[in-house]
């Protein structure tokens, strides 16, 4: 995994393939690698869909090794949704496979002059890229089926759906799971539109003949991996809650905390929560012959995913995540799991971010395009997006654009990106993350819910401003580092609470690379990444004024706690003072 694969789509005689050694980027992986490449090589004021933007797809530092749960793939670019730097990551198989094929990153550069749509195939023998216009406007599931027919079932795929081809700002990039289904997505920031702007429909990977990446110190590595796995298994969140009920175990918890945004963030509790909770979802999945506990990639030891069957017992979609159930559920006043699962499938198939789409449909409901709670209408709206109708063009570009089109003030966005499933008034720490993250409103970039609600890594009262800045800062730093390892972010619960598990993670990295990093070095890596991202954003025109929640979160209290977001602007400006 010491090669960077660059494909220049602007080449006069078609795309140009170039393999490079890591050079200055040596030692980086995942978000660390994507953000460093973007920060160094992309002009910050360029158009996100223009020839100067780059799309970087990078497995984490431990991806492709035997390390448990190391299958995250990072994707970086300048975001069409936020206008700032973006890293969005996904589970699924491709990270492990791409790493085993020896690539630290694929960098898509330039933009074709013609209208051709391209497919890239990578295996042990090398890289092929060819125009294949028969793929145009194929939804992700059909596309993967076609790839399977062409290349067999040993492959995995990275692809965009119609939304990416239409260069919509809510377009995701799909990654196939263990069943070779395009069900895992790097969703946020419209990165699918950037892949679309490069005219790349699919990257097909086959690592047949390649082997697992070997650590420098195999014994130490094996031991560390054992301790690490044990740590994950013994923590109540990663060992019990997540495997049993999936991420949606949070629905009841967050609803109880009064932080479950309902009807476009009008309320903090949803009457229908019990109908769509993780517990109900798991029961339904089991009852219909689906699966309530399942991994999204080989090597996962948490297995927070699952498989959702429809009423007839047929596969409909993977287990919808907590964020998806919230976005298409509570946030739109919808309490029907079948409708929510259908929208999860549609998003995956069209290639759309479920968070952005749920937030968008809720804004559309506030604009009067449908009633809150009307699942059928919500599905219709989503269909417009996949079909690229004018209304679909509005919705497919996200919550902020939809609010703009319909003159709605209440758009729950920061830097143009929709807030996820936690009301920042009822959990002030996540509000700090939403406001200040380099990524726009993003829960994963500093998951304060852990400490504000789940009491992981200590406890900071979610309703007060005290301690939230330090909390968010520390989490943002740690997250930037974790996002570089290829590890699933859910390891954070165990490493925050269990020092020996954190040490095991460091030992995994050290023994794999033959390093002697300390916890401080990990922190330094996180800071270095955030600094590069902040600098990119500043050069793109972002100021402290962009590190703010929309005004109405400071003015409109949210029930049941009847609180507003009270962290002061001057405090927010201290998040990156370290």
Q: How far is the CB of 111 from a second copy (least distance, A)?
A: 9
The residues of the shown chain that bind a second copy, judged by CB under 8 A, are: 43-47, 49-50, 52, 80, 166-169, 193, 196-197, 389-391, 393-394, 397, 401, 404-407, 409, 539-543, 545-546, 548, 550-552
Whether the link from the prior residue into 560 is cis, omega within 30° of 0, is yes
Q: How far is the CB of 2 from a second copy (least distance, A)?
A: 34
SS3 label, residue 21? strand
Minimum CB distance to a second copy smaller for 43 or for 126: 43
Q: How far is the CB of 405 from a second copy (least distance, A)?
A: 4
Contact 572, 435 (CB under 8 A): yes
Distance CA 77, CA 547 (A): 20
Distance CA 366, CA 432 (A): 25
Q: How far is the CB of 556 from a second copy (least distance, A)?
A: 11
Minimum CB distance to a second copy smaller for 29 or for 164: 164
Minimum CB distance to a second copy smaller for 58 or for 200: 200
Number of CB atoms found within 10 A of residue 236's CB: 13
Minimum CB distance to a second copy smaller for 464 or for 554: 554
DSSP element (H, E) containing 59: strand 55-59
Minimum CB distance to a second copy smaller for 62 or for 395: 395
Q: How far is the CB of 393 from a second copy (least distance, A)?
A: 4
Number of CB atoms found within 10 A of residue 129's CB: 19
Minimum CB distance to a second copy smaller for 80 or for 92: 80
Minimum CB distance to a second copy smaller for 365 or for 509: 365
Instruction: Write down how long the chain is.
Output: 578
Minimum CB distance to a second copy smaller for 50 or for 126: 50
Contact partners, residue 21, CB within 8 Å, separation at least 6 = 2, 3, 4
- Helix axis angle for 468-485 and 519-539, nearest 10°, is 100
Measured CA distances, 553 to 287, 387, 411, 565 (Å):
41, 34, 10, 6
Burial of 555 (0-12, 13-18, 19+ CB in 10 A): exposed
Q: How far is the CB of 135 from a second copy (least distance, A)?
A: 18
Q: How far is the CB of 474 from a second copy (least distance, A)?
A: 27
Minimum CB distance to a second copy smaller for 413 or for 453: 413
Q: How far is the CB of 508 from a second copy (least distance, A)?
A: 41
Contact partners, residue 164, CB within 8 Å, separation at least 6 = 171, 172, 173, 192, 193, 195, 196, 351
Minimum CB distance to a second copy smaller for 167 or for 425: 167
Query: In what side-by-side order are the strands of the sheet with 315-318?
Result: 291-294, 305-309, 315-318
Give me the torsion for CA of 93, 99, 102, 105, rounded to 10°.
100
Q: How far is the CB of 435 from a second copy (least distance, A)?
A: 12
DSSP letter for 528, please. Answer: H
DSSP letter for 9, please. Answer: T
Minimum CB distance to a second copy smaller for 169 or for 438: 169
Q: How far is the CB of 176 from a second copy (least distance, A)?
A: 25
**Secondary structure of 149-213 in the HEC alphabet?**
HHHCCCCEEEECCHHHHCCCCCECEEECCCCCCCCEEECHHHHHHHHHHCCEEEEEECCCCCCCC
- Give DSSP secondary structure letters for 99-138: HHTTEEEEEEES--SS---EEEEEETTEEEEEE-GGGTT-
Q: How far is the CB of 542 from a second copy (least distance, A)?
A: 8
């Amino acid at each position: 995994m010491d090669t960077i694969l660059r494909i220049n789509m602007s080449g006069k005689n078609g795309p140009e393939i170039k393999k490079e050694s890591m050079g200055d980027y040596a030692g980086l992986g995942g978000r660390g690698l994507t953000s460093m490449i973007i920060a160094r090589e992309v002009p910050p004021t360029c158009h996100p869909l223009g020839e100067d933007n780059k799309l970087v797809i990078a497995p984490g530092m431990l991806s492709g090794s035997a390390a448990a749960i190391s299958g995250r793939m990072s994707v970086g670019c300048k975001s069409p949704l936020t206008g700032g730097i973006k890293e969005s990551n996904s589970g699924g198989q491709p990270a492990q496979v791409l790493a085993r094929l020896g690539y630290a990153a694929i960098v898509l550069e330039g933009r074709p002059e013609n209208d051709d749509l391209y497919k890239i195939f990578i295996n042990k023998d090398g890289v092929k890229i060819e125009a294949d216009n028969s793929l145009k406007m194929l939804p992700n599931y059909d596309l993967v089926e076609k790839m399977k027919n062409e290349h067999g079932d040993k492959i995995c795929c990275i692809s965009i759906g119609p939304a990416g081809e239409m260069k919509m700002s809510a377009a995701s990039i799909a990654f196939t799971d263990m069943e070779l289904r395009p069900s895992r997505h790097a969703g946020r920031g419209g990165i699918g539109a950037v892949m679309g702007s490069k005219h790349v429909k699919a990257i097909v990977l086959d690592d047949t003949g390649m082997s697992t990446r070997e650590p420098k110190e195999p014994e130490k590595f094996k031991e560390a991996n054992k301790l690490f796995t044990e740590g994950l298994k013994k923590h109540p969140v990663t060992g019990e809650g997540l495997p049993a009920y999936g991420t949606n175990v949070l629905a009841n918890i967050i609803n109880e905390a009064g932080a479950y945004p309902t009807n476009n963030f009008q309320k903090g509790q949803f009457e229908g929560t019990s109908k769509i909770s993780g517990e109900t979802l798991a029961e339904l999945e089991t009852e219909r012959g689906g699966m309530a506990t399942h991994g999204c990639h080989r090597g996962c030891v948490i297995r927070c995913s699952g498989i959702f069957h429809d009423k007839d017992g047929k596969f409909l979609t993977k287990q919808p995540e907590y964020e998806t159930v919230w976005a298409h559920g509570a946030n739109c006043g919808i309490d029907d799991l079948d409708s929510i699962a259908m929208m999860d499938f549609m998003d995956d198939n069209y290639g759309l971010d479920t968070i952005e789409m749920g937030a968008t449909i809720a804004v559309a409901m506030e604009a009067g395009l449908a009633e809150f709670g009307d699942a059928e209408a919500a599905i219709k709206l989503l269909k417009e997006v996949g079909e690229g109708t004018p209304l679909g063009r509005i919705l497919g570009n996200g919550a902020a654009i939809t609010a703009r089109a319909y003159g709605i003030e209440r758009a729950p966005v920061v830097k143009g990106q929709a807030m996820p499933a936690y009301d920042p008034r009822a959990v002030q720490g996540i509000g700090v993350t939403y406001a200040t993250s380099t990524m726009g409103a993003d829960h994963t970039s500093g998951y304060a819910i852990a400490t504000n609600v789940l009491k992981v890594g200590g406890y900071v009262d979610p309703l007060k401003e005290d301690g939230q800045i330090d909390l968010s800062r520390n989490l943002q730093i740690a997250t930037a580092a974790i996002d570089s390892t290829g590890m699933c972010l859910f390891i954070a619960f165990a490493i925050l609470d269990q020092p020996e598990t954190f040490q095991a993670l460091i030992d995994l990295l050290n023994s794999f690379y033959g390093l002697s990093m300390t916890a401080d070095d990990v922190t330094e890596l996180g800071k270095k990444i955030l600094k590069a991202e902040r600098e990119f954003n500043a050069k793109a025109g972002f100021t402290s004024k962009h590190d703010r929640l929309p005004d109405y979160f400071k003015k409109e209290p949210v029930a049941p706690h009847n609180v507003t977001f009270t962290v002061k602007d001057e405090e927010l400006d201290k998040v990156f003072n370290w």
